[in-house]
Structure 1
Amino acid sequence: MLDNVKILGVPFSKMNMKETVNIIVNKIDCNNQSIFNIITGNPEIVLQAQKDSQLQTIFNEADLITPDGEGIVLASKWKGQPLFERVTGVDLLLEVLKMGNERGWSFYFLGADEEVNKKATENILEEYPNIIVSGRHHGYFDNVQEEKILLDIESKRPNILIVALGAPRAEKWIYNYKHRLPVKVAFGVGGSLDIISGKTARAPQKWQQLKLEWLYRLIIQPSRLRRQMVLPIFAYKSLMEALKEKRKRV
């Protein structure tokens, strides 16, 4: 694991976006065939890991965990080990697509519904015409279809596998099948394909700069309220952890 700060047991990378993309470039350029597993972690999945031993194991064995959410960055500041930049799933995906367009990388897109997956892939190819889409498949599959997906990925051998199955399903899927995935890099991207397809609007840049993207999403998707209720719980737990560690240092 690279230099990190632990928040509620989850080791978050201290690298910014540029450094993260550079690591991905190095992993794709090297001859090492083992998969480089990235997790973009937000407060919700961190809390889930506290009650899910498999998810905690996945975090511990991940190669890189990026801070996907302002809550993670704030918690790191409370601990006196500040993470200076969010590296969200959608932003990381867009930066990797940019780099892939320059370097001719191949991608496999797994997840979302068929309409979203197809439209997102079309939009990606229009914006980044030099990448190679080795394959794609929606995220609604049974065991038989799942085996066909794995065989397809095995035969296509893309540089990067993008998994949009939602968290923590995406992280568990990559972990459970990493021994069968002949890819250099894999990471989950949440609802990023919904945004790229145009189905869901992302918060305007001003809201992002004010670090209120979560509020914008709640306004346009009130159904997210239940999910957002984890934020004060995460804030309380991470603050208590920071205070406890501070007392130990005194």
Structure 2
Amino acid sequence: MKDKVCILGVPFSKLTLEQTTSLLDEQIMDGQGGLFHLITANPEITLASQTDEQLREIIDSADLIVPDGIGIVMAARRQGNPIAERVTGYDLLLSLLAKGNERGWSFYFLGTDEPTSRLAMEQINLRYPQVKIAGRHHGFFAPDEEPGIIASIQQSKPDVLILAMGAPYSDKWLYKHKEELQGIKLVFGVGGSLDVISGKVRPAPAIWKKMNLEWAHRLLFSPVAKGQKSRWRRQSALPKFVYRTMIRK
């Protein structure tokens, strides 16, 4: 398709952040298409999908996959089918919160730790007063707590469900409960975005963003949640991605 580019079998959207926001605005306002699952995929997730059969199945079933990483943009350019810009989970979340502030949308937030979740909600209430926070729950829950969380989401009927439990866990969690969450219009994962909104993690300075070095800023300054791989280990996927997409014929 003209509006997509396939990288290692993953069909990435070529829409800009503004165009993606407009598409999702139409999806939410129409409300007739059922649950819309968007995935923000970076080189690490793209590589993981080559060997993780469940992740590949999830990617194949997603409604839209946006390029969350400069490596994806570079690989598309190398193929001669360029992507205009990255569409990161953090930027997309802020864009949708701004649009939701105009539209009066409701959001449910699932993920991060309890203090960070609480602080993030305070900041969202302050910055986007017309956004309705339908509910929230931290991401460190036991399996026997899941039915209650699902029931809470079903009862609150949010327009948008935001998952902040890290990738690919967020997308796998959604895939597991997709049939139970059909009343929601849009779902996507945002990684550590709530940590930034809450103030727990400082955002990358503008100069780092301009140079496409946000990944390096996170590597140096962002804490890693308990149970997650170290950022240094995760970044080891980048050379493999470069080799697979830009060097090897």
Q: TM-score, normalised by structure 2?
A: 0.94
Shift of 1:105: 0.2
Q: C-alpha distance in 1, partners of 2:95/2:47?
A: 27
| 2:221 maps to amino acid | I
Deviation at 1:22, TM superposition (A): 0.6
2:231 counterpart (202, 211, 224): 224
Q: Distance in 2 between matches of 1:240 and 1:224?
A: 24
Give the structure 1 partner of residue 165 of structure 2. Answer: 165
Q: Name the one with the larger helix percent.
A: 1
Aligned to 2:226: none
* Aligned 8 A contact 2:31 2:185 in 1: no
What is the total number of aligned residue pairs between the two structures? 242
CA distance in 1: counterparts of 2:150 and 2:2, whole angstroms: 29
Quote the offset at 1:41 in angstroms.
Answer: 0.3
User: What do the CA deviations read for 1:149-173 (whole angstroms, capped 9, x no partner)?
Assistant: 1001111110000000100000111
Q: Which amino acid aligns with 2:26?
A: N
Residue 201 of structure 1 is matched in structure 2 by 202
* Superposed CA RMSD: 1.4
Helix, strand or coil: the match of 1:81?
coil
- Deviation string 1:162-195 (CA, Å, 9 cap, x unpaired) is 0001000001111111111121000000000111
Q: Look up the match of 1:64.
A: 64
Q: Retained in 2: the 8 A contact 1:2–1:64?
A: no
Asked if structure 2 preserves the Cα contact closer than 8 Å seen for 1:33 and 1:183, the reply is: no
| Residue equivalent to 1:187 | 188
2:112/2:139 contact within 8 Å kept: yes
The C-alpha deviation readout for 1:196-242, integer Å capped at 9, x for no partner, is: 1111112101110111111222222495211111111111111146x
Using the TM superposition, name which of 210-219 and 19-28 deviates more.
Answer: 210-219
- How far has the Cα of 1:106 moved from its partner? 0.2
Q: Which runs of 5+ in 1 are unaligned?
A: 245-250
User: Deviation string for 1:91-141 (max 9, x for gaps)?
Assistant: 000000000001100000000000111111111111000000000000011
Kindly indicate whether the alpha-carbon contact (under 8 Å) linking 2:107 and 2:158 is maintained by their aligned counterparts in 1.
yes
Return 231-240 or 91-100, whichever deviates more.
Answer: 231-240
Q: In structure 1, what is the Cα distance between the partners aligned to 2:164 and 2:123?
A: 16
TM-score, normalising length from structure 1? 0.93
1:209 and 1:31 map into 2 onto residues whose CA distance is 36
**1:12-23 pair list within 5 angstroms:** 12-23=12-23
Q: Provide the residue aligned with 2:54 in structure 1.
A: 54
Matched, 1:237 2:244: yes
Aligned to 1:91: 91
| Per-residue deviation, residues 20-73 of structure 1 (Å, max 9, x unmatched) | 001111111114151010000001111111110110011111000000000010
Partner of 1:175: 175
Q: Is the 1:159–1:183 contact (alpha carbons within 8 Å) kept by the matching residues of 2?
A: yes
Shift of 1:144: 2.1
Distance in 2 (alpha carbons) for counterparts of 1:239 and 1:206: 26
User: Within 2, Cα distance between the matches of 1:113 and 1:86?
Assistant: 27
Contact 2:27 2:33 in 1 (8 A): no
Contact 2:161 2:184 in 1 (8 A): yes
SS at match of 1:110: strand
Tell me by how many angstroms 1:143 deviates: 2.0
- SS of equivalent residue, structure 2 residue 49: helix
Decide whether the 8 Å contact of 1:2 with 1:13 is kept in 2: no
Match of 2:133 in 1: 133
Contact conserved, 1:203 with 1:216, CA < 8 A, in 2? yes
Q: What secondary structure does 1:50 align onto?
A: coil
Partner of 1:214 in structure 2?
Answer: 215
